[in-house]
A and B are shown apart, each in its own frame.
Chain A
Amino acid sequence: MTMRTKDHHMPFVSSPFVTRRDVLVGSAATAAGLFLAEPGLATSLPNAPARSGLGTAYPRRDGPLKVRGAARFAAEHRFPGMVYGALVFSTIARGTIRRIETEAARAASGVVLVMTHENMPRLAPPEPFYASPTGMAGSAIPVMQDASVHWNGQPVAVILASTQEEADHAARLVRVDYEVAEAVTRFDDAAVGAPVAFYAGRDLQYRDGDAEAALAEAEASVDLEFSTPQQNHNQIELHAVTVAWQGGVLRMHDCTQGVDLSAITIAKVFGLDPSQVHLTAEFVGGGFGGKTLWQYHILAAAAARLAGRPVRMTLTREGVYRICGGRAPTRQRVALGARLDGRLTALIHTGTTMKIAQNSMTEPFMEAAEHMYRTDTMHLEIRAGVRDMLANTFMRAPGAAVGTFPLEVALDALAERLAIDPIELRIRNEPEVDPTTGKAFSQRALVGALREGAHRFGWQPRSGERLGRREGEWLVGTGMAAAYYPYKRFPGGAARITLGQDGRAVVELAVHDMGMGTGTATAAVAADRLGLPYEDIEIRYGDNRLPGNMIAAGSQQMAAIGAALTAARDALVAELAALVPAGAALHGRPAEALTTRDGALVLASDPATRMPLADLLARAERREVSAEAAAPPPSEAKEWSMHSTGAVFAEVRVNAVTGELRVSRITGVYDCGRILNSTLAASQFRSGIVMALGMALMENTLFDERSGRIANPSLAAYYIPAHLDAPEIDVAWTGIPDPEAPSGARGIGEISMTGVAASVANAVYDATGKRIHDLPITLDKLL
């Protein structure tokens, strides 16, 4: 079934080629009133955004609260009698705890509880992602249930004390004696014989024809090896939970991207009914895939039960690195064969990544290659080696962030070899239908995004030569790459709408706002569905007791919300239809013929036949009408090829003396379907670009392969972009609604994390003649 609804008229774009006029629907620069005076950026003014409705630049609803510092995060709630938690981490990668000395810690000032595997309550192991539809844990490793150690950094003791200072001090007094077992901690060791990965219900392998033979026979080819390091999310909010057992209910103030899935997973661990866990996360201080369920949640709840005291557990920054996973490292090969006209004859994208035995997360870096370019033959394959290490996990644009890097660098190298402009090379390989599934695209305007990006950036076409120039001691170059992220909508969407006689509506749904502006965007979608003014919509979210089992992940949340709101609106209309009094023009009309518009229940085919909602409720003597409904199953992505694409352009400056690399200019144009709020969208796009600049330039979790221990668990030693690293970023979008997506929107949180590293690497090549195949592009690689 499609998600098209009766009041959902959207243009269908049958051709992947769109005109410039189509492209210039939205512009962040216009929306935010920014940067129009910047040289080299927009040379033509895009159309102004609509004054109201979807796309309107409504300001972030919780902005005033946040700038006052009044938004309460997980560690900012208090229960009477609350104590503070601290953790002790293992210092070996694998083995057994022979003896754990806790006497000194128990005797220390203020200590309420020392918990180890010896007195930890017996609990079920947590369900990891993909183990069940509701699994929310990073790994299935049982939490402190026996003496075994599975990774270097695993919690081996929990201290509870009256103050954080006392808990931290006591944690240092715990002594652990280990029986060390042999551990696999080296990439090379784990890669030997690594099997083809099974991930998200399929083998990460695809073959079409004999790609190696086609590569060998190609008129032009490139065959390159790449690597990307381990990376960490580094949300500025430390992972934390404030927890209390209240009667039979486990109450948790959490920072999570999935209030329901976290609550359900925790309930199973403790043998509770999910209704016995009340978990809220109204504000989440950054998520990026890492604010899920980790051992500290279970340890805090277990310790609270054992001590009979509420607990605040705030991880140290080191603690976040020790027990909350990051992105796995990859080694990748991309080989491309082509005819002299640029048409691809072979596309090979293979490689190896790392995981643990107890999770199902394999970094799916071949996804962009599956859907981006037409080719005569193809071979894609990911092997996953198993190491004894902290569970790797989802980090912004899993797969595509590190997969677009080699793919788009290889295309740049091929363009150079063919003496074809890199944009033109991509256009010549634009597929008519999905290259691997053969399905029709629901909507795709990559070519439009490439052309618009080239225009905005001032791209100088090239045919094999480098155009980099020298300015004093700085080498200046430009590069481009395509961006990619799949459309996703997971099952579990639901919402409740309560319409009051005052004409205001309260919309409740268990969704999350880690900074994307979910409440603000959802209010606009609800206003659109209900035909009510935006200001009259109140959104409640971040609470597992609200409808739905949704998750803010995979850029799917707004799609889930859109489908849920359509279903809830239809249910509400049915309730309203039953209230229409005899004698009214709408009386007796079937609910399917009705909708809501401009504050009235109307006949969809003739909106002039209407009854104001306030009158309807007053006549029925109802103060409010409420309806809850679940979204239909997500079948749209099974029937169509649904993917977002984009074009990224970068200008870099490399110091010829020191190797210092600065990104001086960047433009991103995205084709993600309809944009629901131009201000928030612009911020989201810039957000991913900045994080991707970190990936390109500096980010590297230093994993000590001898010990299996992360060597830089600190914001002082893991570098992320600072203000001086973030240039002014020009973003725009095609804004063409996807007719198969619930609000015409495919999701925007992750695509801007993709393509950027390749565009920077390609610009570095243009500037210096050095092809960097290993991230991050640090200055030692440029000297």
Chain B
Amino acid sequence: MTITINGQPYDLPTDARVSLLDFMRERLDLFGTKKGCNQGACGACTVLIDGERVLACLALAAQYDGRSVTTIEGLADGEDLHPLQALFVKHDGLQCGYCTPGQIMSAIALSNEFSRGAPSSVTTDLDVPATPNREEIRERMSGNLCRCGAHNGMIEAITSYLSEHS
């Protein structure tokens, strides 16, 4: 049983209780993915699994045999930040930095969701593909809580990213 994380293969744990989040943090020392509630309420543990966003605290590692995971550590190209990471810094879309990795991973997945036209609960016209206006972005990012109140900067960063990269 192996799982690929940021391009590296790893043997999955034998203890079936181990969440994907605890597997990465406590067995692999991949601390970039954060634990904020361990019950799927805060979004700090958001990762991409085969391009879709998943809450790693609610995912048992053993479920993901053969799958490919991207975490915050897999975004930057060496010294160069991913464009969305750079935009978060530019627009000061962070304070303590704890929810930040989950916010960024969520926003990247959101970009994929828009590109296939998936609607959200604030989409008013279901006959046409949803477009990334601020209301849509806010709704789709609402599963990622931030207690420092860095929301404005994040939405600014994500809006810029989507307009430049979609």
Contacts and interface: CB of A to CB of B under 8 A. Distances in A.
A724 interface: yes
Interface residues on B, range: 35 or more
8 contacts: A60-B89, A64-B81, A73-B34, A316-B38, A515-B96, A517-B95, A722-B142, A724-B138
Contacts of B18: 163, 165
Q: Chain A interface mostly helix, strand, loop or mixed?
A: loop
Interface of B: 15, 17-18, 22, 25-26, 29, 31-42, 44, 71-73, 75-76, 81, 85-86, 88-92, 94-101, 104, 122, 135, 137-139, 141-156
Contact of B94 (A67, A714, A715, A728): A67
A687 B100 contact: no
Contacts of B99: 236
Interface residues of A, number: 67
B145 A722 contact: yes
B97 A66 contact: yes
Nearest to A169: B17
Contact of B26 (A164, A284, A726): A164
Contacts, number: 197
Nearest to B151: A726
Contacts of B151: 686, 690, 721, 723, 726
Given A59-B90, A723-B139, 13 more contacts: A32-B91, A63-B88, A67-B72, A67-B89, A68-B76, A69-B71, A69-B73, A236-B146, A238-B35, A283-B96, A686-B150, A691-B149, A724-B135
Nearest to B26: A164
A715 B72 contact: no
Contacts of A60: 89, 92, 94
B32 A34 contact: no
Given A515-B96, A516-B95, A163 B15 contact: yes
Contacts of B22: 164-165
A240 to B, nearest CB: 9
A715 B96 contact: no
Interface string A283-321: 111111000000000000000000000000010110000
B143 to A, nearest CB: 8
A237 B96 contact: yes
Q: Give the top 7 A-B pairs by smallest Cβ distance, nearest first.
A: A69-B32, A66-B97, A515-B95, A690-B149, A285-B98, A515-B96, A69-B72
A143 interface: no
A70 interface: yes
A68 B96 contact: no
A62 interface: yes
B31 A76 contact: yes
Contacts of A231: none
A63 B26 CA distance: 24
A63 B84 CA distance: 12
Contacts of A683: 92, 95, 148-150, 153
Q: Which of A35, A64, A684 has the most CB of B within 10 A?
A: A64
Interface in A212-253: 233-238
Contacts of A288: 147
Nearest to B44: A236
Interface in A57-85: 59-60, 62-73, 75-76, 78, 84
Interface in A701-725: 714-716, 720-725
Given A723-B138, A728-B152, A235 B90 contact: no
B13 to A, nearest CB: 9
Contacts of A72: 31
